[in-house]
Amino acid sequence: MVVELVERPLPKPSDEGYIEARLLEALAEARLALEYLERGFTRNAACKAFQAWKALLAALLRLELEKLKALAKTEEERKWLESRAVPRVPTTKMKELSRLLEEAGHEGIPFVTALALDLHDYQYHGPDPDMALSKYTTRESAAADVLLLLKELARRVEALRGRVKWTEELERALEEVRRTLAR
């Protein structure tokens, strides 16, 4: 099921199914991260956990787009949110976008995004005893943060029930991630 979810064409951000598709993508990437973690591939797990968080941010940005546009200071910022931020979620802008999402009511998002970005660095550099290229000195500390990020992701996806179109497929994907996290 995970492969099907990740490989589907993504609806346009203006389409009704965009948020659901991004949430399904987030859960599918989370499931893959957990599978990699179980196999001992910590760097791959960090990559997938980061991608899962980025997909969740895309869903939240689309969900809150009107609030975010109201918070924007210029027309240029409003256009950028709609044309670039929602469909792409640039990695270099994730902290800024997370702060905007917090202003729109998603408390604590910047702290979790900072964790996701640390895992993104770990993906490329692995454990680094000197902490020059990665904030993780061991695989175990990175693995612990992958689990922490995925638990928060599952909690935030579940909190959207009632605010987004909630399908059986979304419920199954969330349950699969929760079941795997509970092991």
- DSSP-derived letter for residue 61 is H
Residue pLDDT, tens place only, 13-64: 988 899 999 999 999 999 999 999 999 999 999 999 999 999 999 999 999 9
Residue spans of the domains in the chain: they are 2-182
Per-residue pLDDT at 7:
79
With b meaning 16 or more CB within 10 Å and e meaning fewer, what string describes 133-158?
ebbbeebeebbebbeebbebbbebbe
Q: What is the mean pLDDT of residues 139-143?
A: 97
Secondary element (H or E) of residue 179: helix 168-182
- Phi, psi angles (nearest 5°) of residue 21: -60, -40
Q: Quick check: 77 pLDDT over 90?
A: yes
